Chain A
Amino acid sequence: MTENPGILHSVAAFFAKTAAITDMEVRKLLHDPTELLTRAVQPALWLLIFGQVMSHAHVIDTAGYPYLDFLTPGILAQSVLFIAIFNGISIIWERDLGIVHKFLASPAPRSCLVLGKALGGGARSLIQVVVVLVLAALSGVKMRLDALPLAGLVLCVLLSAGLFSSFSLIVACLVKTRERFMGVGQLLTMPLFFASNAIYPTSMMPRSLQIVAHFNPLTYQVDALRVLLLPGYSLTPHLGLRIDFMVLTLTFAGMVAISARLYPTIVR
C-alpha cells in the first residue's frame, strides 16, 4: 500500500510530460497553420478526382457501397499515414538545432519524449480528419455521425498516427540525415498504401500481396475506419474492430518501445 502513491505519482508524471511534448507540437501547428492547408490538397485530389473517376468504372468490389463511400475511409487513412510518416524529420531538425540534446539531458523518460511526439503527429492528423470528412460529406458520401463511432474514429486515428509517427522516428534515428530520411520516407509510403485495402479490397490482390497486406497496419486502420464510418459495414465481411484495435495498439506500443530505445542515439 505504501508504494501506491509513488507509482501513481510516477504514472501521473509520465503522462504529464507526454502531454507537455504533445502540447508543444500542437502549439507550433497553431502558430503556423499554413501546413494544414497544403496538407489538405492531396486528399482532396484523391477524393474529388480519383474517387469520382473510379466511381464510374465499376470494376472494384465495394461490398455494395458506392465507390466514393468505400474510398473515403481509405483516403482518411492515407492522409494520416502521409502526415505521420514524415513526422520523424522534425527530430532530425531538432537534433541539428540542439533541442533534442536538451530534452535528453532533462529527467523526462525517453518514452515520454517519443510518445509525446507521436501523439503530436496524431493531433495533426485529427485536423486532417475534419478536412476529409467535410469533403466527403460535400461529395454525398453517407457516413455514421453518431457519438460512439466518431469517438472510435478519433481513437483509431490517434493510434494509427502515433504508430506511423513512431515508425518514422525509428527511421529518423537510423538514417540520421534529412536527405536520406526523405528518400526512405518516399520509399515507404507508396508500398504501405498500395499493399493495403485503402483503395481496393484485399480480396482483389494476388495471394502474395494479400499476405503482405495482412502484416500492414494500414490495412487494420482502414478496416476499423470503414466499420466506424460506413453505415452497415460491420455486417459485411471484415477483419473486426477488436482485431483492428488490438493490432494497432500492440504495434503502436512496440514502435514506441523501439523508438524510445533508439532516440538517444540520434545525438551520438
Chain B
Amino acid sequence: MQQPIIDIHELTRRFGNACVVNAISMTLQPGEVFALLGRNGAGKTTVVKMLATLLEPTSGRASVGGFDIVREAAQVRRIIGYVPQALSADGDLTGYENLNIFAKLYDIPRVERAARIRDALAFMNLSEVSGNLVKTYSGGMIRRLEIAQSTLHRPRVLFLDEPTVGLDPVARASVWEQLGKLKDQFGSAILLTTHYLEEAEHLCDRVAIMNRGRITAIGTPAQLGAMISPTASLEEAFAYYTQDHPQAGGTVDDASRNHLAFQQID
C-alpha cells in the first residue's frame, strides 16, 4: 500500500466556542482527485486552510507529503499549490506578470522560468492574452490563470477551494477540462472543495461529504449513492448526509450506522 500523500487524524478547529471542523480523519493517495462536499459553513474551506498551513488546528494532526502541517509548515508549502475561493489573480498585473511573481516565490530557476510560464499559459489556453491586464479577463480565464499559477512548481498536492463557484456553465466546463488534463499530465493529488455535485462526479475519484464540521460519508461517488439505496444518486446521498436529522453528523462509522438505521426506518 502506498504512503498517503495527505494523512489527517482527528483534525479539529475551533473559533471561540464554535467547532468548525470536528475531529475529522481521512487519507488521500498520491495522484488521487478528492472532493470535500458540503453545504456553506460545513467546514470545507477551514480544512483546506489548515492543510495549506494558513490556519493552525486546535487539536489533532495532519501531514502533507509526509510533513506535519504545523511543525514542518515550510516544507509543506514547497510541495503544495493553493487556489483560494475568491478570484485571486491580481487584476492590476498582466497574466504573465501574475505567473512570474509566483515563479520567483517558488524558486523556479531563472533559466527555466520563461519556458515554464509559457508552457503553463499554453496549457491553460491563455497564451494570446498573457500580456493583457487580468482585470480584462473573464472569470473562467482568471480561474485558469490561477490554476496555472498554483501548478508552475509542479506541486505534489493541489488544493482548490470552490474552483468553479460563480462561473457560468461554459467557464466551468473549461476549468473542468483543464483540471482533467492536469490530473492526467502531472499526476498531482488534488483536493477540492465544492457544493456542485456534478463537479465531484465528473472530476473526482473519491468524495467526502461534510456536515457541521464532521465527515458524514466518504467513498467513490457511486459508493456514496449505494450507501443510501442501490439506485440512489450522489445528489440523494448528499441530501441524506447533510440533513440535520438526529442520525446525520458524526464520524464515518456513525454515518454507516445511520445508513442502516435509515434503511430500517424506511
| Residues in A lying within 8 Å of B, measured CB to CB | 13, 16-17, 20-21, 23-24, 27-28, 31-32, 94, 96-99, 101-108, 264, 267-268
Q: Are A101 and B54 in contact (CB-based, < 8 A)? A: yes
The residue of chain B having its C-beta at the shortest distance from the C-beta of A108 within the complex is: B105
A99 and B88 in contact, given A20-B105, A106-B105 (Cβ under 8 angstroms): yes
Which B16-42 residues sit within 8 Å CB-CB of chain A?
none
Shortest distance from the beta carbon of B20 to any chain A beta carbon, whole Å: 12
The interface residues of chain A lying within 8 Å CB-to-CB of B80 are 105
Asked if residues B101 and A97 are in contact (CB atoms below 8 Å), the reply is no
Interface window among B89-97, B118-126, B229-237: B89-97
B55 pairs with A32, CB closer than 8 A: no
- How far apart sit A267 and B102, CA to CA, in the bound complex (Å)? 19
Of B54, B78, B93, which contacts A107 at CB under 8 A?
Answer: B78
Sort A-B residue pairs by CB-CB distance and give the 3 closest, nearest first.
Answer: A98-B88, A98-B84, A20-B104
Q: Which residues of B contact A16 (CB under 8 A)?
A: 104
A104 CA to B85 CA, complexed, in Å:
15
> Across the interface, do B54 and A264 meet the contact criterion of CB distance under 8 Å?
yes
Measured between C-beta atoms, what is the minimum distance from A160 to chain B in Å? 25
Verify B88–A107 contact, CB threshold 8 A: no
Neighbouring A residues of B104 by C-beta, 8 Å: 16-17, 20
Task: Please report the C-alpha to C-alpha distance between residue A105 and residue B146 in the assembled complex, in whole angstroms.
Answer: 13
| Interface set, chain B 43-61, CB cutoff 8 A to A | 49, 52-55
B149: CB under 8 A from chain A?
yes
* A96→B77 contact, CB < 8 A: no
Interface assignment of B261: CB less than 8 Å from any CB of chain A: no
CB distance from A59 to the nearest CB of B (A): 46
Can you spell out 16 A-B residue pairs with CB atoms less than 8 angstroms apart? A16-B104, A17-B104, A24-B97, A27-B97, A28-B90, A97-B87, A98-B88, A101-B49, A101-B52, A102-B82, A102-B149, A102-B150, A105-B77, A107-B105, A267-B49, A268-B54
Q: Which residues of B from 101 to 119 have beta carbons under 8 Å from A?
A: 101-102, 104-107
Closest to B80 in A: A105
Contacting pair B102 A98 (CB below 8 A): no
- Complex Cα distance, B242 from A2, in Å, reads 57
User: Does B92 lie within 8 Å of A32, measured CB to CB?
Assistant: yes
Please report the C-alpha to C-alpha distance between residue A95 and residue B84 in the assembled complex, in whole angstroms.
Answer: 11
CA distance A13 to B78 in the complex (A): 14
How many interface residues does chain B have, given as a range?
A: 20 to 34
- A94 neighbours in B (Cβ, 8 Å): 90
Cα distance A264–B84 when bound, in Å? 15
Given A31-B92, A98-B86, CB of A106 within 8 Å of CB of B106: yes
Interface centre among B54, B74, B102, B133 (most CB of A within 10 A): B54
A31-B54 contact given A107-B77, A107-B105, A107-B106, CB 8 Å threshold: no
Q: Is the CB of B93 within 8 A of A106?
A: no
The answer on a CB contact under 8 Å between A101 and B93 is no
- Chain B residue at minimum C-beta to C-beta distance from A21: B101
Residues in chain B near residue A98, CB distance under 8 A: 84-88
Contact of A97 among B82, B86, B133, B150 (CB under 8 A): B86
B109 to chain A, nearest CB (A): 11
B127 to chain A, nearest CB (A): 20
Contact A13 B84, beta carbon cutoff 8 Å: no
Decide: A105 near B93, CB < 8 A? Known: A97-B86, A97-B88.
Answer: no
Which residues of chain B have C-beta atoms less than 8 A from A104's C-beta? 53-54
Question: Is the beta-carbon distance between B54 and A267 smaller than 8 angstroms?
Answer: yes
A13/B107 in contact, CB under 8 A: yes
B128 to chain A, nearest CB (A): 19
Q: Determine whether the beta carbon of B107 is less than 8 Å from that of A101.
A: no
Bound-state CA distance A89–B222 (Å) is 48
CA distance A102 to B152 in the complex (A): 13
Residues of chain A with a CB closer than 8 A to B106's CB? 106-107
Q: How far is the CA of A27 from the CA of B97 in the complex (A)?
A: 9
- Measured CB to CB, the closest approach of chain A to B119, in angstroms, equals 20
Determine whether the beta carbon of B105 is less than 8 Å from that of A268.
Answer: no
Query: Inside 8 A of B92's CB, which chain A residues have their CB?
Result: 28, 31-32
